[in-house]
Chain A
């Protein structure tokens, strides 16, 4: 029995009959290419010298090579007679024209290098019954693809799921309830501190400096060393300051839970922060789950416009630089945490990520197109999410580590203005199996969405398998993770 859609009738029986069908072997439109690798590295923030020069492709680019690519034009899609393309067409014709990727599971074979040219064969693995999600009602469509090189040898597989949904049937309310929230209590100041708050409007964290050179915060009337008040000038007291570098560490903290205050996130992390300049201040710490807070953790200055005319400083975990030495497998134990990394989601990242992953879908670069699909703005594609996560895992694993597989499941879409907070750990039970022979271990990760000062949900979670260098296995030179 069919269902009446906006633009037609969904032939559910015909749709389901496609499941199990195998598409034609399709040669990728482009070969593996050094310039494309360098573009991908720039988009994902990769600094791994093994891939930066384009000599080796990051494994997560597996499906990039077979993507339609921008050269076919914006919004271009492959339209073959393959069962999965026919399924997409049937759904779109019945009004389920919206599409978002929800899952991408990669398993990698050998590393790919410029000159490799892949051929992809895709099987329509499953179509779900009608589901209702935050985006609306629709069907999940899962494909399984096998990638082979020109010798016919498999170089990787992918299981990929998209949600084909009917635009306009989902929830449109902001997930974080921002509209109903009262403003934070306003900071109060007088002439003795106004210069400090004024600096924040310009994203300058100003630290008071006395003529002796002594730095003080919070501001004082007089130099604590000499007792000398700040000097008087022709226009009144002359305040002097330096601008903080933004490097800091966490001296102490609390997580406020009860009573909740409607102007603040619940819970709210308040930190006592030591600035590199030697002064201390109370601020908020964002982009780190409360259970990951540690006295002494490196922080980096960030800003938050809380009122029309007030900007407050806040801090986020400092990004840990890429590990430049191999991480021996026998130094890793279950429960080890990967460093939290906040990633600013910008238009540049969303759109640049789509271009770098050869994804011409308009929802990744055209805000109007995204809104027409029921989303507030352009959103990150799953290949960029996968790219960021695998780049971050590789930076933790260091030289010589090899990414074996990655499984990404998407939750809430992430848009420009968000901060994506990457966090993860070595899975319990698997590190015992990090035997010296294989160095193989499984990681679990999450990518939470920080929007404003609230963590609104999980953009992605998943697992990855990495093979670390072992004592018996010489670390690869130039083998990327």
Chain B
């Protein structure tokens, strides 16, 4: 089975605020600025937007954003569940909506002050105090002190290291690549500040084996994307980034960041679900992709993504990424914006924008021959992914 909307829609506008540790304004203001910028980028008046697609944890409701953008009528508004796993999912929803005619012009956005307001990395202790199944699910971990995203991820990392002989330095190579790319990106928080593997190894433990420099940044900022059909895109200001494929993924015994009860916890089977559909819908394979924006909230969960997408066999990511393979000039530079460790943590939406720039040929770290770019969303959660292509 393949999806009928493959290669029928495109991201036509991208817009973001600056990325910072203290935006000095409200998340709603950031959302409005990002959405207006995305419309301006596409040459579309915000009043032409008739749909919105966001993901859960987004607290800037679409009706508020619509009111403030001057949108009078909307006929498509959708929320993808499970936080950071929903990033590419918002584009999948938008693409399906515009392809089916449910809407013509759909905004996808994410905006927050996750550094200067409540820090995102502080975890869920004190949350989930009800008795619904979702609340209850956290009781299998929270009372034991496993409460932050880094801690959840660390359990997978320890087992992965044990199973495959990966080391902290292997995780560090992801951070080094991200920070090298960020160093070249004026929009990145860590512009001009690359790190070495030694810096990574000296950074303090957050939750063994995850070090400070394995963790994405808590950031303030907003990122918006505008989606319409390929036909409509031809009339707009930018070279369209065609959505060759976009899909979501859940696998057996799926939990939010805590899928600890599967026989084998060294993989990301939900990412495998995404991978198989993306390759099938796009007609592409690992060897066709020159660059990828792989979700990098915590470096240990980047490694199994290479494996789930077939860039290498299970357990071999540490070898695949060695020797600068994932840095500029290597065979698969990743996160050319600096990723969420180097540019900003905008819940993966900034990675989609970077993929659009690669397709347009406007990235600060432009990869030659980047005609097809892979993007993934949150790892360890119900997730999503997409492949953007130049219009053929």
Q: Are A190 and B158 within 8 A (Cβ)?
A: no
Q: Are B207 and A252 within 8 A (Cβ)?
A: no
| Bound form: Cα–Cα A419–B387 in Å | 56
Give the interface size class of chain B: 35 or more
Interface residue ranges of A246-273 to B (CB < 8 Å): 251-259, 261, 263-265, 268, 270, 272
Return the contact of A188 from the options B128, B155, B261 (Cβ within 8 A): B128
Interface residue ranges of B137-175 to A (CB < 8 Å): 137-148, 151, 154-159, 162
Which residues of B are interface residues toward A (Cβ below 8 A)? 121-123, 125-126, 128-133, 135-148, 151, 154-159, 162, 204-210, 212, 253, 258, 260-261, 265
Q: Are B260 and A295 within 8 A (Cβ)?
A: no
Q: Are A188 and B129 within 8 A (Cβ)?
A: yes
Number of A residues whose C-beta is below 8 Å from B? 41
**Once A and B bind, how many residue pairs between them come within 8 Å at the CB atom?**
123
Interface centre among B122, B205, B212 (most CB of A within 10 A): B205
Distance in Å from the Cβ of B297 to the closest Cβ of chain A? 15
Could you pull out 16 A-B pairs where Cβ atoms are within 8 angstroms? A185-B126, A185-B142, A185-B143, A251-B159, A252-B265, A254-B151, A255-B208, A256-B145, A259-B122, A261-B145, A261-B147, A270-B145, A272-B260, A272-B265, A282-B140, A282-B260
Contacts of B155 in A (CB 8 A): 252-254, 270, 272, 282
| Bound form: Cα–Cα A282–B209 in Å | 17
- Further 20 A-B residue pairs, CB within 8 A, beyond A188-B135, A261-B145: A186-B143, A187-B142, A188-B128, A188-B138, A189-B131, A190-B132, A252-B156, A253-B208, A254-B146, A254-B209, A254-B210, A256-B146, A259-B123, A270-B145, A272-B260, A282-B140, A282-B144, A282-B258, A295-B158, A295-B162
Distance in Å from the Cβ of A225 to the closest Cβ of chain B? 12
Contacts of B159 in A (CB 8 A): 251-252, 272, 295
| Bound form: Cα–Cα A310–B122 in Å | 24
Contacts of B143 in A (CB 8 A): 184-187, 306, 310, 312
Interface residue A438 (Cβ < 8 Å from any Cβ of B): no
Interface residue A2 (Cβ < 8 Å from any Cβ of B): no
Which residues of A are interface residues toward B (Cβ below 8 A)? 184-190, 192-193, 217-218, 224, 251-259, 261, 263-265, 268, 270, 272, 279-284, 290, 295-296, 306, 310, 312, 314
Contacts of A189 in B (CB 8 A): 131, 136, 139
Q: Are B136 and A190 within 8 A (Cβ)?
A: yes
| Bound form: Cα–Cα A281–B155 in Å | 12
Contacts of A270 in B (CB 8 A): 141, 144-146, 151, 155
Q: Would you list the 4 A-B pairs with minimal beta carbon distance, nearest first? A: A254-B154, A264-B145, A187-B139, A252-B159
Contacts of A256 in B (CB 8 A): 145-146, 148, 151, 207
Return the contact of B139 from the options A188, A217, A224, A257 (Cβ within 8 A): A188
